[in-house]
Structure 1
Amino acid sequence: MTAVSGPVSEALAELPLVDHHCHGAVTADLTGGEFASLITEGEAWPGVSPFDSPVGVAVRRHCAPLLDLPRHAPPADYVARRAELGWQEVNRRFLTAAGAEVFCVDTGYAPHPVTSPAELGRAAGAAACEVVRLERIAEAVAARGVEADGYAAAFRGAAEEAVRRPGVVAVKSVAAYRTGFAFDPAPPTGAEVTEAAAGWLTRGGRLADPVLVRHLLWTAVELGLPLQLHTGFGDADVTLHRADPALLTDWLRLTSGTVPVLLLHCWPYHRQAAYLSAVFAHVHLDVGLALHYSGPARCRAVLEEALEITPFRKLLYSSDAYGVAEFHHLGALSFRRGLAALLQARVDADELSLADALRIAAWAGRDNARRLYGPPVSEPARDPSGRPTRKV
């Protein structure tokens, strides 16, 4: 997609974004194979390079210049230049290029050594907040040892302790991966939780019991913080049709009037998510992850479909970047260009006033997230003079 010009594009280019859901960037230099594995959500493809995919092409086109390479640089040159610069400089370049004033960092997924929220913020010259993944809390409680009849109280106590940490602004569940969303929407009874906990604690492994996942989600509501839910597109661990957010409809009815529910990523169910955001006051969504995997060439189409009926105060920006800092940058670039193109087209067709388009751009890129999560709660990185390196 060719970048559009005009006041909407200019406003979005200058807008400090709030990336309301992302992960850390790796803290090690990567081989070609390691880098390739991090730019796909799938398994290794024998004889096929992940560079030969929409996201791989987008990396070579839009990220290579930030490494002082020509556009469309060959993969071997790209990986070699990355190694030459070193991971610290690579992270700094891409994270600052993202132009975010705040990163909300999910710390519950780290199969590789990655930056903490504070380290990510320092590299970007931005503020950073934490999103607590509740399944990880539950599994830590089980690993420490607990009796089945004490599990519910132990999990609640550990979750409350976690969300009291400085900088925590939200909680997250990956129920979509563990059980899918076709669960009994009612809160389980204490006896049901105890029985399910007895089985899980005997079996071991990760939390995937439907009763305990329901208990986790209802505990999240009681904690009172915004609740992020992975939906739709993810790695091969998700059974996609069970991650359709429309399956949450009955649960959303029961939780109406409680905490904000943020439906993350959503593709290919972004139209279902849009419906839910239109009919439930507490439901919001983003199309993160799909942004950089579709890239600037197609992100406008994804955003247009998401915005067919989504109320404009309900769409948020996220990158869901993990591992390679290219994705923090590419998600932001795709979002800015895609949203600018569709809003400008509506202005040109006299379907939107310019003033409305500028408001919608600011809402989606920053203000909707600030309304839900509050202002930044960690200080931005500062230069040696003590001045913030990015205005927050």
Structure 2
Amino acid sequence: MTPVLPGPVRAALAAPLVDHHCQGVRRDDLVRAQFETLITRAGHPAPPGTTHFDTPEGVAIRRWCAPVLGLEPHAPAAVYLARRAELGAAEVNRTLLRAAGVVAFLVDTGTEASPDLLSVAETGRLGGAASDEIVRLERVEQDVAEEGLSAPAYLDRLRGEVAARASRAVGLSTVIGYRCGLDVDPVRPARGAVLAAAGRRAAEPKKPLTDPVLLRHLLWTGVDVARERAMPLQIPCGHSGVDPGVLHRSDPTALVPFIRALGPLGVPVILLHCSPYERAAAFLAATFPHVHVDVHDGFAEVLGLAPFHKIMFGSGGWGVAETVYLGALRHRTVLARELAARIDAGDWSSGDAERVAGMIGSGNARRIYRL
């Protein structure tokens, strides 16, 4: 049932969003097998005799994306994919990205560079919005490692390349939690240990970086650049995006020593993908002045604990434009329910709800990323 909300609150929810966390989507036409692997974080085909359309994301695509592409709600998967092929990838991307109602996309470019993915500029152009880059530290390191430099040259090049890419971006991100866990030693590694680790890295430059010493060095390199440029650092937590073959602690409270170390430096930290630890992330946002939280699920927990000026919308979309559209739709739908419940209970005024919707939808991101 659609919640009943005062007109100003409905308008605030419908206002254009700043999508502060999304990734590139495919520009090419996709066959069914390709499309299905992109609507699941697992990234592998469904078992024989099954389909990834029989998942919450698959059902949501058939229910909500089908009408945007001119089909009836709940269109069969084969009909939906045929319509997608008929329109072509460019038109599908344009239609769904614009339907998301986004005024600015902040695109994490951490995935491997591919001509199959829309660039940051193309994402904005097709979506009828502004667009800016979030630089993934591990992506920069991978590119530098593959240049085959000596250990000292590698370290110098790494610092320079992070700074150069940050100069064209609005934020940095790191997936250190997915590489070695979130219980990061908050102390900068010693120069000798970093040089030794860089020498080991030179032996396997094409593999993803997992050395904890180099990951800490990379993290602190990012912190230094973020401080110089007054930009935030995104850190994914929780279970979303975790490699099934690697188990690391993903509870954001594991970051507390590192968060404390950053306090005097004034670098904003944005916790992403916090499910199922939304309450823990909200607690950190309430406790530390430089910590903010991205919310997909668990709106009730986050709204019940985190300061409202610390919460931001991010679709988390990646791979196909459907994920961006559904992220925006879910945000508006779930937040509408939460606001309506608070107004109906007499806990919030209509003005409170209108103001909070505006802050979470775009205002906080504009301020923190200096848009």
Please state which band the TM-score falls in when normalised by the shorter chain. over 0.9
Distance 2:247 2:105 in 1: 27
3-state SS of 2:357 partner: helix
- CA change 1:309–1:241 in 2 (3 A) is farther
Question: What is the identity, as a one-letter code, of the residue corresponding to 1:128?
Answer: S
3-state SS of 2:202 partner: helix
| Corresponding residue for residue 34 of structure 1 | 34
8 Å contact from structure 2 (residues 240, 275) kept in 1: no
- Name stretches of at least 5 consecutive residues in structure 1 with no aligned partner: 289-298, 376-392
| Corresponding residue for residue 64 of structure 2 | 62
8 Å contact from structure 2 (residues 178, 242) kept in 1: no
Question: What is the identity, as a one-letter code, of the residue corresponding to 1:250?
Answer: P
Q: 1:316 aligns with which of 308, 312, 324?
A: 312
8 Å contact from structure 1 (residues 173, 217) kept in 2: yes
Note the alpha carbon deviations across 1:295-340, whole angstroms, 9 max, x for none. Answer: xxxx5xx211222211111110001111111111110010011111
Are 2:261 and 1:261 aligned? no
Question: What is the identity, as a one-letter code, of the residue corresponding to 2:223?
Answer: V
Q: 2:249 aligns with which of 238, 242, 266?
A: 242
3-state SS of 1:243 partner: coil
| Corresponding residue for residue 74 of structure 1 | 76
**How many Å apart are 1:236 and its aligned residue?**
5.2
Are 2:350 and 1:354 aligned? yes
RMSD of aligned alpha carbons: 1.6
8 Å contact from structure 1 (residues 20, 316) kept in 2: yes
Alignment of 1:111-190 (within 5 A): 113-165=116-168, 168-190=169-191
Are 2:94 and 1:86 aligned? no
Deviates more, 1:181-190 or 1:246-255: 181-190
3-state SS of 1:144 partner: coil
Are 2:5 and 1:6 aligned? yes
Distance 2:160 2:354 in 1: 44
Question: What is the identity, as a one-letter code, of the residue corresponding to 1:84?
Answer: E
Q: 2:283 aligns with which of 275, 289, 308?
A: 275
8 Å contact from structure 1 (residues 233, 240) kept in 2: no
**How many Å apart are 1:110 and its aligned residue?**
4.1
Question: What is the identity, as a one-letter code, of the residue corresponding to 2:180?
Answer: T
**How many Å apart are 1:30 and its aligned residue?**
1.1
| Corresponding residue for residue 217 of structure 2 | 215
8 Å contact from structure 1 (residues 19, 103) kept in 2: yes
**How many Å apart are 1:37 and its aligned residue?**
1.0
Question: What is the identity, as a one-letter code, of the residue corresponding to 1:285?
Answer: V
- CA change 1:241–1:267 in 2 (3 A) is farther
8 Å contact from structure 1 (residues 277, 314) kept in 2: yes
Deviates more, 1:94-103 or 1:178-187: 178-187
8 Å contact from structure 2 (residues 62, 73) kept in 1: yes
8 Å contact from structure 1 (residues 228, 261) kept in 2: yes
Q: 1:338 aligns with which of 334, 339, 342?
A: 334
Q: TM-score, normalised by structure 2?
A: 0.93
Distance 1:62 1:115 in 2: 23
Distance 2:364 2:13 in 1: 18
8 Å contact from structure 2 (residues 180, 248) kept in 1: no
8 Å contact from structure 1 (residues 9, 336) kept in 2: no
3-state SS of 2:272 partner: strand
8 Å contact from structure 1 (residues 151, 194) kept in 2: no
Question: What is the identity, as a one-letter code, of the residue corresponding to 1:255?
Answer: L
Distance 1:124 1:5 in 2: 29
Note the alpha carbon deviations across 1:189-221, whole angstroms, 9 max, x for none. Answer: 111111111112123322111011111111111
Note the alpha carbon deviations across 1:109-154, whole angstroms, 9 max, x for none. Answer: 1476111111111111100000111111111111112222333322
Count of residues in Structure 1 that have an aligned counterpart in Structure 2: 360
Distance 1:348 1:66 in 2: 32
| Corresponding residue for residue 18 of structure 2 | 18
Question: What is the identity, as a one-letter code, of the residue corresponding to 1:30?
Answer: L
Distance 1:32 1:153 in 2: 45
Distance 2:263 2:172 in 1: 17
Question: What is the identity, as a one-letter code, of the residue corresponding to 1:270?
Answer: E
**How many Å apart are 1:4 and its aligned residue?**
2.0
| Corresponding residue for residue 198 of structure 1 | 199
Q: TM-score, normalised by structure 1?
A: 0.88
3-state SS of 1:203 partner: coil
Q: 1:303 aligns with which of 271, 282, 299?
A: 299
Distance 1:311 1:30 in 2: 42
Are 2:236 and 1:227 aligned? no
Distance 2:37 2:4 in 1: 35
Are 2:247 and 1:251 aligned? no
8 Å contact from structure 2 (residues 182, 248) kept in 1: no
8 Å contact from structure 1 (residues 12, 340) kept in 2: no
